[in-house]
């Protein structure tokens, strides 16, 4: 059973896949396919024959791994194939924010070119030669670092909650977040840490919303002291209304893996995990 049909040709290799919601009891279902949806003890109780939760994505923070383990349910994800797409989006947000691309597009479409263009308006900030701080130097963070080399950026990095995170925040023009959401990383970029960022700095988050203290970030953005490119939010799909009209923030709806090629590759991995499980084999991308 899947909560939605997945894109890509690999999906057609599956037989007897029912598309449905998780709020209905189905005693005959042995595998669930979910895009990081809530799977907790209550959901597991509706599927007594369940043996596999195949997550469509690399992050599985909404799946209660402990409860799955207690019920004898394996959990898989789709690592590796979305690294490049997410790194590309992080850089797209960096460029969009630092060079005022969204505001510029809006003015052109509204026929307001002359009203907003002068030698002293629509001024962004340099990306080339800037200092980039990467919070979480895993696969995606490392892919961002490789892209930064093409922009002659000075790259600093920390792994999750390393002790020099505060120093990185003080010294970087741009900070991009690439850590998984765990108990340890929830609220990692707190109000106190956001205050360490220099005036004019930019925060980019393509990881998970709760890694950043969202209320504190909203306050910083409303003040105009820093800017941000945000693909993730604390309570998706809800976005703080205070952000809608701010010129110093670019908002996207969790598009990190949203390319035709990447989503098809993710489906391929999901299908491979499902087919392995039906053959009684160990799923190749088991996380629990």
- Name the burial class of residue 150, with classes exposed (0-12), middle (13-18) and buried (19+) by CB atoms within 10 angstroms of its CB: exposed
Task: From the candidates 236, 261, 281, 282, give the one annotated as an active-site residue.
Answer: 236
What single-letter DSSP state applies at residue 283? P
From the list 98, 178, 193, 208, the catalytic residue is 208
Cα separation of 176 and 23, whole Å? 36
Alpha-carbon span 212 to 205, nearest angstrom = 8
**Do residues 100 and 127 make contact, with C-beta atoms less than 8 angstroms apart?**
no
Element (H, E) at 177: strand 174-177
Pair of tokens at residue 22: 């998780």
Q: Rounded to whole angstroms, what are the CA distances from 275 to 35, 42, 47, 269?
A: 18, 26, 19, 10
| CB distance 136 to 156 below 8 Å | no
Cβ-based neighbours of 67, under 8 Å, separated by 6 or more: 39, 40, 41, 44
Concerning whether 236 is annotated as a catalytic residue, the answer is yes
Is 208 known to be catalytic? yes
Do strands 227-230 and 52-55 pair parallel, antiparallel, or not at all (unpaired)?
unpaired
How is the beta sheet containing 202-205 ordered, strand by strand? 154-158, 131-135, 174-177, 202-205, 227-230, 249-251
Burial class of residue 209 in the structure, from the number of CB atoms within 10 Å of its CB (0-12 exposed, 13-18 middle, 19+ buried)? buried
Query: Can you say whether residue 254 is alpha, beta or left, with left for phi > 0 and alpha for psi between -120 and 50 degrees?
Result: left
- Which residue numbers are catalytic? 208, 236, 254
């Amino acid at each position: 059973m899947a909560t939605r049909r997945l894109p890509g040709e690999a999906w057609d290799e599956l037989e007897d896949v029912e598309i449905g919601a998780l709020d209905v009891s189905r005693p005959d279902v042995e595998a669930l396919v979910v895009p990081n949806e809530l799977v907790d003890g209550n959901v597991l109780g509706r599927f007594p024959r369940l043996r596999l939760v195949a997550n469509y994505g690399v992050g599985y923070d909404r799946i209660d791994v402990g409860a799955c383990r207690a019920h004898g349910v394996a959990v898989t994800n789709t690592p590796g194939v979305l690294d490049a797409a997410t790194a590309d989006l992080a850089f797209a947000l960096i460029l969009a924010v630092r060079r005022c691309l969204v505001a510029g597009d809006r003015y052109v479409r509204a026929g307001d070119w002359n009203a907003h263009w002068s030698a002293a308006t629509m001024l962004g900030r340099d990306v080339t030669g800037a200092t980039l701080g990467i919070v979480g130097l895993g696969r995606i963070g490392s892919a961002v670092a490789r892209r930064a080399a093409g922009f002659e950026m000075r790259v600093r990095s920390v792994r999750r909650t390393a002790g020099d995170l505060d120093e990185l925040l003080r010294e970087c023009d741009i900070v991009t977040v690439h850590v998984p959401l765990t108990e340890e990383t929830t609220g990692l970029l707190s109000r106190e840490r956001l205050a360490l960022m220099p005036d004019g700095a930019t925060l980019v988050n393509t990881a998970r919303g709760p890694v950043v203290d969202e209320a504190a970030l909203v306050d910083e953005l409303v003040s105009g002291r820093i800017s941000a490119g945000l693909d993730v939010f604390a309570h998706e799909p809800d976005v703080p209304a205070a952000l809608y009209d701010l010129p110093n923030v670019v908002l996207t709806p969790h598009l990190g893996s949203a390319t035709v090629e990447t989503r098809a590759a993710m489906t391929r991995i999901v299908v491979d995990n499902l087919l392995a499980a039906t053959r009684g084999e160990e799923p190749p991308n088991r996380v629990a």
